Structure 1
Amino acid sequence: MGKFFDSLFGSGREPERILDDDPGPTLAEELEETRAALSELRSSIRRAGSLLPTLASSHMRQIEDILRLLLDYVTEHGASTEQRVLLHSIAADYLPTSLRVYRALPPETQTDESPETEKLLEQLDILHATALDLDHQVRTGAIAELSAHGRFLRDKFDVDGVRIHPDGPQRGSEGGSR
């Protein structure tokens, strides 16, 4: 009974702390893991190619292409942690799982018109829309960041109506006194 109450109210001892000395992968390592997942995905799609309905194979390749181009963009320009996690999850888990589960079905169910193929195509439509949305979010974020930087520069170099130009400060928009 004492252990029960101790578990509810504590035993007066300090809780043990779990120390995590591993900070996790670096950004470069994280992006390389996603690149490796995309390479594995491409290989899996190619291996399954002739066994998949043409529409499914084409749709998977389109998604993989979107993700590959997005990864190149993210590598150069960056993205939020959430965006990178979603990118990695689609490449390493969501799309490969759809492919793996479909391939595990009996071959007679893997026809162009089967209900199983329809379910796969529904999943691929969702993943395609998600990949496009992610691509848009990442690129829009860069546009928003550029706009914010532009506002910062305008504020910084347009102090009290005096604009700093290479030819010297000018007041107002008429070119005022120098």
Structure 2
Amino acid sequence: MGFWDWLTGRDPAPPVVAVPEVDPAPTQDDILASLDGVEQLISSGALPSVVRSRAARVTKLVRQTLPRLDSLGLGSYDSYSVIATATDYLPEAIGGYLRLPRDWADSRPVENGKTPLLLLIDQLDLLGATMEKIYDAANSTDAAALITHGRFLRERFGHPPAADLNVPAPPSANPADPFDLERP
């Protein structure tokens, strides 16, 4: 507050705070376009087969998980991980490897005795295992609902599940059972 503001009783204007620019979240089209780009790299022949198979596994799992992101909870760590894998982690891992000369990347140890090729394989294995767990988590909600519904039905109707759906359950041994067909 300045002297003049104090004399006149006016409050100074609040300071202007600059809000940093934030990139918008990737859309479904952005995610799919990124996966398409990775799949083009996979099919281009620029990557060793051991890398192609692992990268293809990751892209397949991400594609399978994308329609189920809502079951993970939008904004959750798992849904973020799926999106980041498609748009950042996977493309960056492959891109980092491809920026190196092939003979050097496949033969020179750079960390703990591992070549860039082996480091990339480790990264792809980690991404694949993580996407597998997230895919399982995305499906577990519906699987749990199916289990809960089955329990409800057993409680409601009181019949244990038949071991083989093609074979009728054995008749009830309870003589008071009105549905016992073997009763005289």
Equivalent residue number for residue 58 of structure 2: 63
2:94 alignment partner, one of 92, 95, 99: 99
2:104 alignment partner, one of 105, 109, 116: 109
Bigger-Rg structure (1/2): 2
Deviation sequence 1:29-52 (CA, Å, 0-9, x none): 8333222221222123223xx222
Deviation sequence 1:86-128 (CA, Å, 0-9, x none): 1111011001000000001122124389611111111111111
Aligned counterparts, 1:145-164, within 5 A: 146=145, 150=149
1:139 aligns with 2:139: yes
Partner Cα separation in structure 2 for residue 134 and residue 100 of structure 1: 24
Q: Provide the aligned length of Structure 1 versus Structure 2.
A: 136
Q: Please state which structure has a larger fraction of its residues in helix.
A: 1
| Cα RMSD (Å) | 3.8
Partner Cα separation in structure 1 for residue 126 and residue 15 of structure 2: 44
Q: TM-score, normalised by structure 1?
A: 0.60
Q: Please state which structure has a larger fraction of its residues in strand.
A: 1
Displacement of 1:147 in angstroms is 5.5
Partner Cα separation in structure 1 for residue 18 and residue 71 of structure 2: 31
Displacement of 1:66 in angstroms is 1.4
Alpha-carbon contact 1:59-1:124 (below 8 Å) kept: yes
Alpha-carbon contact 2:105-2:116 (below 8 Å) kept: yes
SS at match of 1:51: coil
SS at match of 1:127: helix
**Percent same amino acid at aligned positions?**
19
Partner Cα separation in structure 1 for residue 100 and residue 67 of structure 2: 34
Q: Which 5+ residue runs of structure 1 have no aligned equivalent?
A: 1-10, 159-173
Mark the CA change 1:18 to 1:79 in structure 2 (over 3 Å): closer, same or farther: farther
Partner Cα separation in structure 2 for residue 150 and residue 94 of structure 1: 38
Partner Cα separation in structure 2 for residue 31 and residue 37 of structure 1: 10
Partner Cα separation in structure 2 for residue 87 and residue 124 of structure 1: 14
Displacement of 1:79 in angstroms is 3.2
Partner Cα separation in structure 2 for residue 142 and residue 17 of structure 1: 46
Partner Cα separation in structure 2 for residue 53 and residue 14 of structure 1: 59
Alpha-carbon contact 2:71-2:141 (below 8 Å) kept: no
Partner Cα separation in structure 2 for residue 38 and residue 126 of structure 1: 18
